[in-house]
Structure 1
Amino acid sequence: MVTAFSMTDPRPNNGASPDVVPANETRSGTDSHLRGALEPPISFSLMVHHVVLYKLKPEVTPARVEAMMMNTRMQLLKIPEVLSIKCGKRIDPEMPWPFFIAIDFDSMDKYAIFREDPIFVKFTEEVIKPNTEDCLVLDFEMDPGKDVRFS
């Protein structure tokens, strides 16, 4: 998804309302080359909601699930690219995915940095892999620029 932004003409206009250029048109004159430069790249306007559902290994106890939840919050919140994190366990015992983690990022770029972060890599090796046997990853686009603390 590409979000187009319009710009206001900075030239004086003798008290008239500002000249707004429609997002699908270019401005003529000396500043037309600036329009593309000022438009943010798509990666900066695309907030990401990353959800992972996990199937647990049969030997994982309820106490271990509680420890996984605690470790998820303690470890992953140390990573600067993480805006917010939620994790939890299933309520319905028939649900096939008994554990989830949901993380919000400002952009796909920040999500990519997160995936390479040593804290996340260690967390995956020490918490996720020993306790899970399958996962379902779901990534969603959120409203650009929305403060996720108020979601």
Structure 2
Amino acid sequence: MIHHAAYFQLKPEVDAAGLEELVRTSRSLLLKIPEVLSVRSGRNIDPSCQWQFYFSIEVDSLEKLRITLDDAHHLKLLEKWIKPKTMAEFSMTYELDPSKNLKHS
């Protein structure tokens, strides 16, 4: 299982309504991609943090992540919604280990 998280710094002119639109739109567009198993998106509750918006997705494999990142819905999210409202970003990708029971660790 692969977990991909992307963090974004908003442009100063983006207000609360613009941030809420990013949260809602990212969920709706990313859930349209067949390879995506789950989506999370949200706003940072710490107003002093520079990374005010994030989304994360989970997919079965690195190949499915590549397909997802090239999917038209993901590209539309980036070009139409995220790039016009953000000025910096970074992302991280993790491989999750489903073989270990983490409940009792």
Counterpart AA for 2:42: G
Map 1:1-151 → 2, pairs under 5 A = 47-144=1-98
What's the offset of the Cα at 1:145? 7.0
The TM-score with structure 1 as length reference comes to 0.63
User: 3-state SS of the aligned residue for 1:121?
Assistant: helix
Instruction: With a CA cutoff of 8 Å and minimum separation of 6, indicate the structure with the bigger relative contact order.
Output: 2
Counterpart AA for 2:58: D
String of CA shifts for 1:40-97, please: whole Å, max 9, x gaps: xxxxxxx211011100011101001001111011111000011100000011111110
Which 4+ runs in 1 deviate beyond 6 A?
none
Distance change (3 Å), C-alpha of 1:145 and 1:74: farther
Paired residue for 1:26?
none
Determine which structure has the larger strand proportion and give its number: 2
RMSD of aligned Cα (Å):
1.3
The TM-score with structure 2 as length reference comes to 0.90
Task: Give the number of equivalent residue pairs.
Answer: 100
**Structure 1 residue ranges without an equivalent (≥5):** 1-46, 147-151
**Structure 2 residue ranges without an equivalent (≥5):** 101-105
Paired residue for 2:103?
none
Determine which structure has the larger helix proportion and give its number: 2
Percent of paired sites with the same residue? 42
